Amino acid sequence: MAETRKTKVLIIGSGPAGYTAGVYASRAMLNPILVQGLEPGGQLTTTTEVENWPGDSHVQGPDLMVRMEAHARAMGTEIIGDIISSVDFSKRPFVCQSDSGTVYEADSIILATGARAKWLGLPSEEAFKGFGVSACATCDGFFYRGQEIVVVGGGNTAVEEALFLTNFASKVTLVHRRDELRSEKILEDRLLKHPKIETLWFHEIEEVYGSDMPKGVEGVKVKHTKTGEITDLPCKGVFIAIGHAPANELVKDTLETHMGGYVVTKPDSTETSIPGVFAAGDLTDHKYRQAVTSAGMGCMAALEAERWLAEQE
């Protein structure tokens, strides 16, 4: 028979928002349960150097997340390797089903499910996913030693991925649809000065092509956004780094969302449209989407959950 776990606070997600909520809810003696999801540690486990986490001028993303997990655990958060598959906010306590079969009954919920990589949506991109097309340079860069690689996008992720991939690739071409990056200036400077990186402005990927036996990418066809001219760019790896969309699958039909699916919270608060349900981090933040802002919102969510629970008693 399925196990039922009862808790005052259920935290869904194990990125900076979730673990920080765990630290604060534990110190409020709420004995929170945190369910980690498919990606324990969240997005920072897919990167290398983090240079803007206060107190650490250089820290590896995965190391930082291991430390955050240990911190939440040490304060008393029960951390469970499970995935929430559905939520029922229609009655209290709220009921969450999980992949393991465990049912979580919670007086309050902190949603911290973060964001996931976006894809271009091309059939050829789909066909070569895992065979040369990737959205994670730290996971897959190693496979492209001595090869030519294309990175698509113009934000912090694309620039960081391009820089990181120079550790393996013979050449990296950054393909961007405009001629202006939206990354931090320090990163842009490193990119533009790097001898292994070329930039291809005003271009979009038209098609990824490759071989079937063995399956693998051979190149991309890129289109000039102004002239429409198609150019062939041979490469073995294509890294899509065009941003992230909120991981709102659990709540998109029950909670108010805006700006492409971000969960709406009340001004200066993490309260959602359902009392007792709070949202923190990239799931709700269409503007800053940083580790430190996510952690800040995790703190707010735990403090607000504590206050809300006290009011219910």
Catalytically active residues, by annotation? 136, 139-140
Q: How far is the CB of 68 from ligand NAP (least distance, A)?
A: 17
Interface residue with ligand FAD among 26, 46, 183, 270 (CB under 6 A) is 46
Q: How far is the CB of 284 from ligand FAD (least distance, A)?
A: 8
Q: Is the peptide bond before 214 cis (omega within 30 degrees of 0)?
A: yes
Please give the Cα distance from 174 to 190 (Å, whole number).
13
Residue 102 beta carbon to ligand FAD: minimum distance, rounded to whole angstroms: 12
Q: Tell me whether residue 71 or residue 224 sits nearer to ligand FAD (CB atom).
A: 71
Q: Establish if 296 lies at the interface with ligand FAD (CB under 6 A).
A: no
Closer residue to ligand FAD, CB minimum distance, 50 or 238: 50
- 113 makes contact, choosing from ligand FAD, ligand NAP, none, with CB < 5 to 8 Å by partner type, with ligand FAD
> Hey, CA dihedral for 176, 180, 184, 188, is it positive or negative?
positive
Secondary element (H or E) of residue 244: strand 244-246
Pairing of strands 262-263, 257-258: antiparallel
Is there binding between residue 109 and ligand FAD (CB under 6 A)? no
CA distance 216 to 218: 7
Strand locations in 65-182 (E): 78-80, 84-88, 94-98, 103-111, 115-117, 133-134, 148-152, 171-175
Instruction: Choose which of 147, 157, 265, 272 interacts with ligand FAD (CB under 6 A).
Output: 157
Site for ligand NAP in 221-250 (CB under 6 A): 241-244
203-212 and 215-224: which strand pairing?
antiparallel
Find which of ligand FAD, ligand NAP, none residue 42 binds, CB within 5 to 8 Å per kind. ligand FAD
Binding mask 167-206 for ligand NAP (x = CB under 6 A): ----------xx---x---------------------x--
Residue 105 in tokens: 């009954």
